[in-house]
Amino acid sequence: MVIYEIENLINGKKYIGKDSKNNSNYLGSGKYLKLAIKKYGRSNFKKTIIEVCSTIEELNSREVYWLQLLNCKNSLQYYNATDTITPCRAGRPLTEEHKKKLSEANRGKKHLPKTREAIERQIQTKKANGTNRHTEETKLKMSKASLGKPKSAEHRASMSACRLGIKTQPCSEEKRKKISEKQKKKAVLRLDKNTQEVLQRYESIMSVRQYGYNSNAVQNVLKGTARLSSGFIWKYE
């Protein structure tokens, strides 16, 4: 647990921060510091340890000490925007109230395109490896967590319909057509089941059929309902 100083080697501006894990790659979370790192490049910043602490309480109090001693908030030579701190949790679990506030704060926010692509790649990789399904242990934990929680009438009706195999919100023909057209335009990759190496790229699911593969079986792999088709892994590009 350390208090550290970051120095911009180009203009000499500094930043005071704390790190409960003493991670040499961590430079800080300050808004203006992040903008500076983006502008000048990470390699132009130097990190120096100025004090070692033994407890979280000491770490928090010593950060305030250094921030106020150097008058970082009011100095043009520092990136710090405040001389107070948010206590370091150091791995402590969030309270239910804190979780609720985070959930409400993030509600409605959309991921950046780059983030969405990363999430999609992760999902497709899990599907290809057959690891996208919950383990029995996880299912048991989920079941225990939901016990005693009140469910709305709409939720109960949906669960009942699901057990009976009834679709409560069937897709319209127009929506089905849009989904179908979108999938037809997606490029498909054929991968080796052992090495995950891409063996061939197809312009669409229709192209797969032209090469003699069962497009319906391939689609089952793409949807995650099957792991292999014709002995290969299939995924969207």
Cα separation, 22 vs 32, in Å, equals 21
Task: Tell the residue number behind the tokens 């405040």, with chain if given.
Answer: 82
Average pLDDT along the chain: 81
Contacts of residue 56, Cβ cutoff 8 Å, sequence gap at least 6: 1, 20, 87, 88, 90
Angle, helices 113-129 vs 215-223, to 10°: value is 120
Read off the pTM: 0.40
Structural tokens at position 95? 């309270």
Task: Tell the residue number behind the tokens 């790192």, with chain if given.
Answer: 37
| pLDDT in single tens digits along all 237 residues of the chain | 899 999 999 999 999 999 888 888 888 888 889 999 999 999 999 999 999 998 888 888 888 888 888 888 888 899 988 877 655 554 556 677 877 877 777 777 777 777 878 888 887 777 777 666 677 788 788 887 777 777 777 777 777 777 666 555 666 777 777 767 776 678 888 898 888 888 888 888 878 877 888 888 888 888 888 888 888 898 888
Would you give the DSSP letter of residue 43?
A: G
Identify the structural domains of the chain with CATH numbers, from first to last.
2-74 (3.40.1440.10), 173-236 (1.10.10.10)
Residue (of 112, 206, 172) closest to 120 by Cα position: 112
